[in-house]
Amino acid sequence: MVKDRKKRLLYSEEIIDRRVKELADTLSHDYKGKDVVIVCVLKGAFIFLADLTRYLGISYVVDFVRLRSYGSQSESSGIVTVTKDIEVSVEGRDVIILEDIVDTGTTLVYLRDMLEKRNPASLKICTLIDKKERRLVEIDADYVGFDLDEGFVVGYGLDFDERFRCLPSVYLIEE
């Protein structure tokens, strides 16, 4: 049972805040003067979105998508469906997908392909955490907060069966 497992602090509130600000500064530079649509992948990226956007020095609109990847709580199966689509048009606009974590990459490949078909001017991926250990499909995030070699993490939007999502820091669940 995960609720009985120990959690080890991985990224503290302060470390996350510093890194999110750095990412926001980079994005503000790269997207100056562009017609930006930030697509937040629910639920996991909502805290990242809230913090990142408040540091951005550019104009943008935010929209939300919710995807479901069938499988167990800690493993995605590869079958992805959209349970909530975005509502704005991305045609001719500069899209940034905001994710909490890229794991196998299946979810993101699905979303990227879906949005590409809507003819955005550009489409990039920004993820808080890039976990390459279990990558099954080829996909690289353009903006990465933290690289993680392995492990299951919770906090700062990331959950295990809806638990731990609102912890301000990120923790590694110990085996």
- Using CB under 6 A, list all residues that contact ligand XMP: 44, 69, 76, 99-108, 152-154, 158-160
167 three-class SS: coil
- 155 lies in the site for Mg ion, by CB under 5 A: no
Q: Give the C-alpha separation, 102 to 25, whole Å.
A: 22
| Interface with Mg ion in residues 78-117 (CB under 5 A) | 100
Give the bridge partners for 126, in sequence order.
98, 143
- 44 lies in the site for Mg ion, by CB under 5 A: yes
Q: Which of 81, 75, 49 is nearest to 64 (CA)?
A: 49
Residue 133: CB minimum distance to Mg ion, A: 16
Q: Are strands 122-131 and 94-102 parallel, antiparallel or unpaired?
A: parallel
The catalytically annotated residue of 85, 103, 147, 149 is: 103
Residue 44: CB minimum distance to ligand XMP, A: 5
Residue 104 interacts, among Mg ion, ligand XMP, none and using kind-specific CB cut-offs from 5 to 8 Å, with ligand XMP
Residue 56: CB minimum distance to ligand XMP, A: 22
The reply to whether 94 belongs to the active site is no
Q: Give the C-alpha separation, 111 to 103, whole Å.
A: 14
Q: Which of 106, 132, 128, 126 is nearest to 47 (CA)?
A: 128
Residues marked active site are found at 103
State the residues that interact with Mg ion by CB under 5 A: 44, 100
